[in-house]
A and B are shown apart, each in its own frame.
Chain A
């Protein structure tokens, strides 16, 4: 089990010694049991740190933001940033290292084990508890969660309330870390691509029906893009305004800028947006499921990325986020790559 006291002690110590600039972790939220991301720079505030199955966020995104901020500063403080990473988050760090977006010295990784389980899905939890308000949720041994509601506490088997991605998780223990809390136990995953396979098993007509319905809902709020630690491009292909507009740029030039994807939330544009995003994340997405969690319309965006992950594994034997030194998926090839679809 992760001993929260140890985590707090280590956090206080590294903050006091000035080893890290600040620590990004989880703290108790203002409303409800869901924790919020916390930026802690005062050693005394380290008391607020928390770790429980409701810590769903992938904090790696903030490292990317910080890196962007540092580039603009005149005298950047280049001390490392302490960050609490789960198994999936640590794989995101590995991908960022692989792409040379960050250096290993930029971060001080405080790894936490998911204790053979994972994090909760808020909606599943609400369904299981039938509307009772949750006050606190904690890890228990033997793959259970201890849920404290207003009317008392009860043990719930983790499988019932685990987030979808955690059921298919390949690393519930950090793969890269400086210091780690909790036990290194790997959960057996029998079907790592079960969700994708269920959709693949549908007929072509049904698959189209499913995706048409789902992608038609998209309002193009770009929350999925904003929350993704891998969507760090300064210019995105969907932003037609992101080309340099200077005082002498004529209206005609602006109008003639290639628009690959129109802004209007039509089905055709939504499909191109989501497929392009999935392609850009091929071999990079570590399946932290944040895009799906933040989606206001509950589009199962994760499936598109998971499909890419599955193809990368089956066709090219490529696994994301375990080795920061491997070449990236689409900028490498093997002689024996499949070509049976080519005439």
Chain B
């Protein structure tokens, strides 16, 4: 019997909120799919479009960028820059024909472990019917 497709998600999590949020989900023993590979970054504003494209190139089925709610940034305005930049990347990826569901962004604070688990659950559920991402992948 063929195994069910398990998507691989690369999540760029802000050190000050989303990463702490995912930590909270962990220590609170909340259950969520193990499909996500978390990468801690210092700020969502430090996520270069190149990180996102590289993740897709190396075989990620979905990429999540998560930062602090607007106004809560540790560096005052990093997430505002991220919001602008990610909007452009998202437009560009859709423009060349990648499924728009494969790239998501979210605001998760350090207290929102529950929200983080829900985002991952929903993300995995939307990725499963899409199948593996082969478009941007090297040697598909």
- Bound pair (A, B): yes
In the bound complex, do residue B99 and residue A204 qualify as a contact, i.e. CB atoms below 8 Å apart? yes
Please judge, given known A-B contacts A272-B136, A279-B92, A333-B77, whether A204 and B87 are in contact too, CB under 8 Å: no
Known: A208-B135, A276-B50, A337-B83. A343 touches B105 (CB 8 A): yes
> Which residues, 67 to 103 on B, are CB-close (under 8 Å) to A?
70, 77, 80-81, 83-100
A266 engages B95 (CB within 8 Å): no
- Does A271 belong to the interface (CB within 8 Å)? yes
Q: How far apart are the CA atoms of A342 and B85 in the complex, in Å?
A: 13
CA distance A254 to B60 in the complex (A): 26
Q: Which of B93-131 contact A (CB under 8 A)?
A: 93-100, 104-107, 119
Mostly, the B contact residues are: helix
B91 touching A276, Cβ below 8 Å: no
Within 8 Å by CB of B138, from A204, A208, A268, A304, lies A268
In the assembled complex, how far is the CB of residue A239 from the closest CB belonging to chain B, in whole angstroms? 14
Known: A304-B92, A308-B88, A333-B80. A204 touches B136 (CB 8 A): no
* Residue-wise interface mask of A (103-127) relative to B, using a CB-CB cutoff of 8 A (1 in contact, 0 not): 0000000000000000000000000
Most buried by B among A206, A208, A342: A342
Contacts of B105 in A (CB 8 A): 341-343
Whether a CB of chain A sits under 8 angstroms from the CB of B26 is no
Chain B residues whose CB sits within 8 angstroms of the CB of A199 once the complex forms: 95
Give A62 Cβ to nearest chain B Cβ, in Å: 29
Check if B38 is an interface residue, CB within 8 A of chain A: no
Interface flag for A209 (CB, 8 Å)? yes
User: In the docked arrangement, what's the CA distance between A215 and B104, Å?
Assistant: 25
Residues on A with beta carbons closer than 8 Å to the beta carbon of B136: 268, 271-272
What is the distance, in angstroms, from A182's C-beta to the closest C-beta of chain B? 36
* Cβ-defined partner of A337 (8 Å) among B80, B95, B99: B80
Complex formed: what's the CA distance from A199 to B94 in Å? 11
- Chain B interface, number of residues (Cβ within 8 angstroms): 37
Q: In the complex, are the beta carbons of A333 and B95 less than 8 A apart?
A: no
Give Cα A329–Cα B77 distance, bound, in whole angstroms: 15
- CB-CB under 8 A from A196, the residues of chain B are 95
The answer for the CA separation of A278 and B85 in the assembled complex, in Å, is 12
Within the assembled complex, what's the spacing in Å between the Cα atoms of A272 and B54?
Answer: 8
Judge whether A21 is part of the interface by a CB distance below 8 angstroms: no
Cβ of A282 under 8 Å from chain B: yes
- The verdict on A151 contacting chain B, using a C-beta distance below 8 Å, is no
**A333-B81 CB under 8 A given contacts A211-B97, A268-B138, A307-B95:** yes
In Å, the complex CA distance between A342 and B94 comes to 15
Contact B96 A343 (CB under 8 A): no
In the complex with contacts A307-B91, A338-B87, A272-B57 CB distance below 8 A: yes
Given contacts A268-B136, A271-B136, A272-B57, contact A308 B50 (CB under 8 A): no
Given contacts A307-B91, A333-B77, 10 further A-B contacts (CB under 8 A): A208-B96, A209-B97, A268-B57, A272-B50, A272-B136, A275-B96, A278-B92, A330-B81, A333-B81, A337-B84
29 contacts between A and B (CB under 8 A): A199-B95, A204-B99, A206-B97, A207-B96, A208-B97, A260-B54, A262-B138, A268-B57, A268-B138, A269-B57, A271-B96, A275-B49, A275-B92, A275-B93, A307-B95, A308-B88, A316-B84, A329-B84, A330-B84, A330-B85, A330-B88, A331-B81, A333-B77, A335-B70, A339-B70, A341-B86, A341-B90, A342-B105, A343-B106
Show the binding face of B for A, using Cβ within 8 Å: 49-50, 53-54, 57, 70, 77, 80-81, 83-100, 104-107, 119, 135-139
